[in-house]
Amino acid sequence: MRHIISLLMENEAGALSRVAGLFSARGYNIESLTVAPTEDPTLSRMTIVTSGSDAIIEQITKQLNKLIDVVSVMDLSEGEHIERELMLIKLRAEGEAREELKRLTDIFRGRILDVSDHTYTIELTGARVKLDSFIDAIGRDLILETVRTGASGIGRGNRILSL
């Protein structure tokens, strides 16, 4: 099953490679991984999307907790949470297609950030499935480039990951 694991870790050189190294050394899946400092510059917040049986997910959270640089870990998918991913996508936009692409972008609540004679560059935010369906709706032929950040996640309401 797909899980979103959120963690706070020391904002130190090498901390990211400890997490990435753990996943490759133990053969755990990583679908995506995002990381950036928080409002407290000594801490980074990371979101890892992974998948595996319950036993594997249990090991993943235990192994993450074991890393000295990791301050706290939460499996967001165990409760109510919000997941967002940002996609920048460049499309071939020529002739009649331009109007149609703009309409699709509006339906998906995306924004056109850059326009050239032949291209649109679009920003789209949402859960993974929403971004996937946008790509499906456009069709592979028109896509020139996609950049996705991978999911960031946060718990709903009182579910707070802190020190």
Q: Which residues form the interface with other proteins (CB under 8 A)?
A: 9-10, 13-14, 17-18, 21, 25, 55, 58-59, 62-63, 65-66, 68-72, 163
User: 72, exposed or middle or buried, with CB in 10 Å at 0-12, 13-18, 19+?
Assistant: middle
Q: Cβ 69 to other proteins, closest distance in Å?
A: 6
Rank residues 26 and 103 by Cβ distance to other proteins and give the closer one: 26
Q: Cβ 21 to other proteins, closest distance in Å?
A: 6
Rank residues 75 and 85 by Cβ distance to other proteins and give the closer one: 75
Rank residues 18 and 130 by Cβ distance to other proteins and give the closer one: 18
Backbone conformation region of residue 118, classed left if phi is above 0, alpha if psi is from -120 to 50, else beta: alpha
Amino acid at 93: A
Q: Cβ 17 to other proteins, closest distance in Å?
A: 7
- Using the structure block, give the residue that is written with the tokens 């950036």: 36
User: What distance in Å separates the CA atoms of residue 122 and residue 90, rounded to the nearest whole number?
Assistant: 6
Token pair belonging to 144 = 């020139």
Rank residues 52 and 86 by Cβ distance to other proteins and give the closer one: 52
Q: How many residues does the chain have?
A: 163
